[in-house]
Chains A and B, each alone.
Chain A
Amino acid sequence: MELILAIAIGVLGGSGVWLVLRPRTFQVLMGLSLLSYAVNLFIFAMGSLFHDREPIVQPGLLPNLEHYTDPLPQALVLTAIVIGFATSALFLVVLLASRGLSDTDHVDGEEPRDGTGHVSIGSAAASPSGSSDEGRSS
């Protein structure tokens, strides 16, 4: 089971990192989501993995990790999931705002001009005031 979980975390994390490094905002969002799944599984695994163990101490049994599975990582994962969802949703809102303001889903708000085959949707003309200023002086 450890091996399967490790592979799952690795695949999720690797895909997440690859997607985060992509130039399109939606891919970045997907990557962040996959990364947070990987991280949540990782936290879960840190409480050590058992079959058929409850996170509740049974009367009559010694309350050590031999007899029950550590409940703390489960509480941590729950908190981390909630926070991760909230911040991803917030990122999505900003992503949509960026899409609306720049007419492109490139993370920099400008289509690359190296002729990669992507159609440039009026990036320079349609971008709101300020963007050309930023580009020049940065």
Chain B
Amino acid sequence: MTLAAMLKASMPHLIVAPVLLPLVTAAVMLLLGDTRRPLKAALNVLSCVAGVAIAIALVYWVQQLGGPQAVGVYLPGNWPVPYGIVLVVDRLSAMMLLLSSVLGLAGVLYASARWHKAGVHFHPLFQLQLMGLYGAFLTADLFNLFVFFEIMLTASYGLLLHGSGWARVRSGLHYIAMNLMASSMFLIGVAMLYGVTGTLNMADMAIMVPAIPEDDRGLLHAGAAILAIAFLVKAAAWPLNFWLPMAYSSASAPVSALFAIMTKLGVYAILRVWTLLFPADAGVSALFGGPVLVGLGLVTLAFGIIGVIATQHLGRTAAFCAIVSSGTLLAALGFGQPAVTGGALYYTLGSTLAVSAFFLLVELIDRTREVEEHPLYVSEVEPDDAFAYPVDLAPSRDVNLDDDEQALFGRAIPAAMAFLGLAFIACALTIAGLPPMAGFVGKVVMLSALLNPAGFGEQAPVSAAAWVLLALLVVGGLLTTIAMSRAGARYFWATHDRPTPRLRFIETLPIALLLGLVAALVWQADAVLRYANATARGLHDPKEYIGTVVSVRPVPSPHATGEGGLRR
């Protein structure tokens, strides 16, 4: 097959493409100035499509490599491994790349309807955020992880403030302050780990860890714990997540849809560093911090569930759903069992896509009440009736207008309300984890692995934490269903004589895309689960990863070998 041959030929170099592509696109966009928005939107969509294609190629390539050696290494500076920058793609990186590129595509499609007109430099910032995400997923080096985190965060500050307004500025202030603190923790953690192990490359560090003298082990653990705080802030673990509901619900819809991946980036970083440095066979340090991770995950999950049921604001419901999903992941990963991790990775895909679609949907649903915004509505409400309407049914005052002061009306597509309703149900089912959607499959896989730690049919004690997680997942599913039904009844069944909202095709397309992928996850559950389980096995037994990364040699200089520089 020529495509496969082309892929093979381009291969180690394709690893750097996800970083270069958004960077170059953003640079070109900056040169274009801030006026030519349609052109930039087209460029952005093109770049995102290319990003998805590259991510698919990388997933295909790692899958082709097969076996435990499914690790691709690229040396951008052609320096030997512990000294130079290394980019590594393995199953987990490739999966997360694909997930974030899909969210990026959905976000930019949605934004090109009208959101990109709400402020300056939306497109370059969007591309730079994608670059930070891709880089953080690909890098194999702690300090570069910090740099890519910062690129992603700086772009996200700009994106969060996109469209301006008091709510965004206030939540942005808290968000930025929190993340600057987290960045300081990140640096302290990295510096301590460097001081103890003398290296920044994660694979190299993993080799050093078992050899660390007993006196320094406390420092190593402290460094890892401080580093984990930085990741936990990103992963929205309680009590470090107070900024998230306000920030995510006040950001513009396409931005919060992309932000759904950022909590997963925190979880990814924890998973990557934790499984590399403290695998089950690391001696004294084996699975260091696992119980803490489980405990934090459980508390985060409980906090998120309470938030989902308590809030009356649909945007904040979505934000709390993101917290629920990352709490579930933290708790499940903390057990350190490959089978549970496999289920959790599958759950990541489903829940991230659904939460992202939900963020986009929230704005369209909000639009049903924006169209009825006229002075009569308020005066018609009798004083006695006033209490019957919840706070958020009152017309929102900060209706977002685009450049032309046009409020949100586009071409009506038929049955817009039906689309919204069905999409809402699909999101609700996935997030609550009810059959037949992907959330259910993920939860069942996680729970069956948790309750059979030694495999099916084997008798083994089930830990108390596993029972708590089971209870929280089941109760959380129930409460999420209640909260979603309540919201659905209020927005879709309660009749306020509201006209059908007008949706643009380009706005419904990304939602349909995301939910279609959730459905595809169920349809192809077996294949995806096999991929996820292979990923989890590779993570919990990182010898192959470490071996492959450390044994990579720089490409010899063509002058030294006497061969031409055109060797392919």
Let me know if A46 is at the binding interface, CB within 8 A: yes
- Which residues on A sit within 8 Å (CB–CB) of B165? 128, 130
- Which residues on B sit within 8 Å (CB–CB) of A69? none
Q: A131's contact among B167, B173, B192, B392, by CB below 8 Å, is which?
A: B167
Bound complex: CA A80 to CA B144 (Å): 11
Total count of chain B residues near the partner, CB < 8 A: 42
Let me know if B180 is at the binding interface, CB within 8 A: yes
| A contact face: mostly helix, strand, loop, or mixed | helix
Asked whether, in the complex, the Cβ of B176 is within 8 Å of the Cβ of A87, the reply is: yes
Let me know if B153 is at the binding interface, CB within 8 A: yes
Known contacts being A79-B147, A94-B172, A94-B176, is A129 close to B397, with CB within 8 Å?
Answer: yes
- Which residues on A sit within 8 Å (CB–CB) of B158? 90
Let me know if B487 is at the binding interface, CB within 8 A: no
Which of B147, B154, B166, B167 counts the most A-chain CB atoms under 10 A from its CB?
B166
Asked whether, in the complex, the Cβ of A39 is within 8 Å of the Cβ of B176, the reply is: no
Asked whether, in the complex, the Cβ of B392 is within 8 Å of the Cβ of A137, the reply is: yes
- Which residues on A sit within 8 Å (CB–CB) of B187? 39-40, 42-43, 80
Q: How far is the CB of A29 from chain B (nearest CB, A)?
A: 9
Let me know if A98 is at the binding interface, CB within 8 A: yes
State the total of A-B contacts with C-beta under 8 angstroms.
115
Bound complex: CA A32 to CA B176 (Å): 11
Tell me the residues in window 153-194 of chain B with beta carbons closer than 8 Å to chain A beta carbons: 153-154, 157-158, 161, 164-167, 169-170, 172-174, 176-177, 180-181, 183-184, 187-188, 190-192, 194
- Which residues on B sit within 8 Å (CB–CB) of A130? 165-167, 397-398
| B contact face: mostly helix, strand, loop, or mixed | helix
Let me know if A127 is at the binding interface, CB within 8 A: yes
Asked whether, in the complex, the Cβ of A94 is within 8 Å of the Cβ of B246, the reply is: no
Known contacts being A20-B181, A43-B191, A73-B191, is A102 close to B166, with CB within 8 Å?
Answer: yes
Asked whether, in the complex, the Cβ of A87 is within 8 Å of the Cβ of B153, the reply is: yes
Let me know if B324 is at the binding interface, CB within 8 A: no
Let me know if A74 is at the binding interface, CB within 8 A: no
Bound complex: CA A36 to CA B191 (Å): 13
- Which residues on A sit within 8 Å (CB–CB) of B313? 137-138
Let me know if B391 is at the binding interface, CB within 8 A: yes
Which chain B residue shows the least CB distance to A29?
B177
- Which residues on A sit within 8 Å (CB–CB) of B200? 72
- Which residues on B sit within 8 Å (CB–CB) of A35? 180-181, 184
- Which residues on A sit within 8 Å (CB–CB) of B164? 97
- Which residues on B sit within 8 Å (CB–CB) of A84? 183
Bound complex: CA A11 to CA B147 (Å): 27
Q: How far is the CB of B170 from chain A (nearest CB, A)?
A: 5
Tell me the residues in window 3-46 of chain A with beta carbons closer than 8 Å to chain B beta carbons: 20, 25, 28, 32, 35-36, 38-40, 42-43, 46
Q: How far is the CB of B391 from chain A (nearest CB, A)?
A: 5
What are the 10 closest A-B residue pairs judged by CB atoms, nearest first? A46-B195, A43-B191, A46-B191, A129-B397, A128-B166, A130-B398, A39-B187, A39-B184, A83-B150, A137-B391
CB within 8 Å of A: which residues of B? 143, 146-147, 150, 153-154, 157-158, 161, 164-167, 169-170, 172-174, 176-177, 180-181, 183-184, 187-188, 190-192, 194-195, 200, 246, 311-313, 316, 391-392, 396-398
CB within 8 Å of B: which residues of A? 20, 25, 28, 32, 35-36, 38-40, 42-43, 46-47, 72-73, 76, 79-80, 83-84, 86-88, 90-91, 94-95, 97-98, 101-102, 107-109, 127-131, 133-134, 136-138
29 example contacts (A-B, Cβ-Cβ < 8 A) are as follows A25-B173, A28-B177, A39-B187, A40-B187, A43-B191, A47-B195, A72-B200, A76-B143, A76-B194, A83-B150, A84-B183, A87-B154, A87-B157, A90-B154, A94-B157, A94-B169, A94-B172, A94-B176, A97-B161, A98-B169, A98-B170, A109-B166, A129-B397, A129-B398, A130-B165, A130-B167, A131-B167, A136-B391, A137-B391
Given A32-B181, A43-B191, A87-B154, 11 more pairs with CB closer than 8 A: A46-B192, A46-B195, A76-B191, A87-B153, A88-B180, A90-B154, A94-B173, A108-B170, A128-B166, A133-B396, A133-B397
